Amino acid sequence: MGYKWTDALPIAEELYDNEPDLDPVTLRLSELRDRVLALEDFDDDPEKSTEPLLEAILQAWIDER
């Protein structure tokens, strides 16, 4: 069972693990969405992404740093 859009913290942790030197603040939400969709463990409908969900993932990633 993979990640869903609502799994902000585990998604952020994996994004951080994959790119620890990347400052997530520099990403546009569309770039963040692409990175989430590229995660091997991500298993949700791409059309269900929303700005608030992406912002939650982004904030969790910022907090992870």
Q: Which of 27, 3, 11, 18 is nearest to 61 (CA)?
A: 11
Per-residue model confidence as pLDDT tens digits over 6-48: 999 999 999 999 999 999 999 999 999 999 999 999 999 999 9
Q: Decide if pLDDT at 49 tops 80.
A: yes
Q: Phi and psi dihedrals of 3, rounded to 5?
A: -70, 150
Q: What is the pTM of this model?
A: 0.93
The yes/no answer on whether domain 8-64 falls in CATH 1.10.10.600 is yes
51 vs 41: CA distance, rounded Å: 21
Tokens standing for residue 38: 């590229």
Helices (H), the chain: 8-18, 29-38, 51-64
Extents of the domains making up the chain:
8-64
pLDDT at 64: 87
